[in-house]
Amino acid sequence: MQKLVIRGEKRLCGEIAVQGAKNSALALLAACVLCSGEVVLKNCPALSDVFAACRILNRLGCKSRYLDHCAYVDAGGMSECAVPEDMMRQMRSSIVFLGAVLGRKGQCELSYPGGCELGPRPIDMHLSALSQMGVKINEEYGVLCCECPKGLHGARINLDFPSVGATENIMLAAALAKGETVITNAAREPEIADLGDFLNCCGARVSGQGTSTIVISGVDKLHGCEYEVMPDRIAAATYMSAAAITGGELDLKNARAEHLGAVIPVFEQMGCRVFSYDDRIYIAGKQPLKAVKTIRTMPFPAFPTDAQAVVMAALTKAKGTSVVVENIFSSRYRHVDELVRMGADIKTEGKVAVIEGVERLYGARVRAADLRGGAALVLAGLAAQGETEVENLCYIDRGYESIEKYLRNVGADVCRMTS
């Protein structure tokens, strides 16, 4: 078991080069299954979830290796179409392999992802969309057996909710399907645009990615390509919060302001100064921070649920009362009790969290219960008086590349220990 030990109250200052986006890299790695030549994914973050996706690729008979922020995938020899349960468990977002494997092989077998640390993760929209494209689905003892006896065909699919994963699965299944697929009420997240751009680089015909209507005209074959994964907007938001909570000053390289359109104004309301230029965001924290009006998590371009916990960490020290409404996941306040152990004043009721800013947080031994909630505890530790131990680092490692090194480089006193 690894933990982070943080001695707080150090002001962070300097430059951070933000990693490639986890959520984009995972979808692109699944998409490689569709390609008949080698794919080189540059700026691919060194994360346990990325390595888990590479293991799934290898299990499917593809060749994948990872070296120095590049993933090399050759799906030419893909022989299997089943993802074993233990691999599905390691990474719940592996459901995105469903559309890709179906697109390539016309059949796929994987276990149902079930509930996880954020609450139930249903996939009804994924399955209904795929069945509209000709997929027959059988669920037996938690295993999904999918096949398309007559091949995949295009369809007009309207999503009840702009689900990121469902949009990705449909795009992947549609890339090599017969005819045209039109997704309305599609997710508009930047990672969806990245997936569409990647598929086009491989010879697909996708348009409208990043808008609510995506059109995919199926092609016969996709080839390999070299592609650079977009920067991670949630890691950028996390480091912005680190600057805010420590009253520091950070220059984030590889951070795109257009991906953080609903997040930057929140830091400005807190009193931080934020400037963006080229692919950089500069942020200077202010002490004391000011409370903000209600933050509501919603699909892109509104405030992202993935940034809720890390922004809440900064709000624990913001003078006044802030309100957060979590609209996307039912169980995404598991960091709250741990923040309260550190002296934060937060009350939750259902979707709503009310945060009364406190003058001081105190070091404590706390446990990450999920990825972003874990990052929030690290941020609180950076600002807390005394020593904080954050346990269950495995959650944080799923989404942040050596978080302790990035933070140490800008002045934090933090180290990783094995207990």
Give the residue, chosen from 14, 76, 114, 122, that forms a contact with ligand UD1 under the rule CB under 6 A. Answer: 122
- Does 93 participate in binding ligand UD1 (rule CB under 6 A)? yes
- Does 126 participate in binding ligand UD1 (rule CB under 6 A)? yes
Q: How many residues sit close enough to ligand UD1 to count as binding (CB under 6 A)?
A: 20
Q: Residue 124 or 279: which CB sits closer to ligand UD1? A: 124
Amino acid at 273: R
Selecting among 13, 116, 145, 201, the annotated active-site residue is 116
Residues 205-264 that bind ligand UD1 (CB under 6 A): none
User: CB 234 → ligand UD1: shortest distance, Å?
Assistant: 8
Give the residue, chosen from 15, 17, 161, 279, that forms a contact with ligand UD1 under the rule CB under 6 A. Answer: 161
Give the residue, chosen from 4, 6, 26, 171, that forms a contact with ligand UD1 under the rule CB under 6 A. Answer: 26
The verdict on whether 201 is a catalytic residue reads no
What gap in Å lies between CA 351 and CA 41, rounded to an integer?
Answer: 38
CA-CA distances (angstroms) from residue 411 to 18, 62, 196? 16, 42, 38
- Report yes or no: 370 and 393 within 8 Å, Cβ to Cβ: no
- Does 158 participate in binding ligand UD1 (rule CB under 6 A)? no
Site string for ligand UD1, 350-389 (x = CB under 6 A): ----------------------------------------
User: CB 351 → ligand UD1: shortest distance, Å?
Assistant: 11
Residues 286-345 that bind ligand UD1 (CB under 6 A): 304-306, 328-329
Q: Residue 53 or 361: which CB sits closer to ligand UD1? A: 53
Q: Residue 342 or 378: which CB sits closer to ligand UD1? A: 378
Give the residue, chosen from 30, 52, 87, 164, that forms a contact with ligand UD1 under the rule CB under 6 A. Answer: 164
- Report yes or no: 252 and 279 within 8 Å, Cβ to Cβ: no
Largest CA distance in the chain: 64
User: CB 93 → ligand UD1: shortest distance, Å?
Assistant: 3
What gap in Å lies between CA 325 and CA 302, rounded to an integer?
Answer: 12
What gap in Å lies between CA 31 and CA 13, rounded to an integer?
Answer: 38
- Report yes or no: 274 and 281 within 8 Å, Cβ to Cβ: yes
Going by their DSSP bridges, the two strands 143-147 and 107-111 should be labelled as: antiparallel
Q: Residue 155 or 410: which CB sits closer to ligand UD1? A: 155
- Does 19 participate in binding ligand UD1 (rule CB under 6 A)? no
- Number of residues assigned to the chain: 419
Q: How many CB atoms lie within 10 A of CB 150?
A: 9
User: CB 191 → ligand UD1: shortest distance, Å?
Assistant: 6
For ligand UD1, the nearest residue by Cβ is 165
Q: Residue 296 or 341: which CB sits closer to ligand UD1? A: 296
User: Stretches 77-85, 160-168, 275-283, 382-390: which one binds ligand UD1 (CB under 6 A)?
Assistant: 160-168
Q: Which residues contribute to the site for ligand UD1 (CB under 6 A)?
A: 23, 26, 93, 121-126, 161, 163-166, 187, 304-306, 328-329
> Among all residues, which ones are annotated catalytic?
116
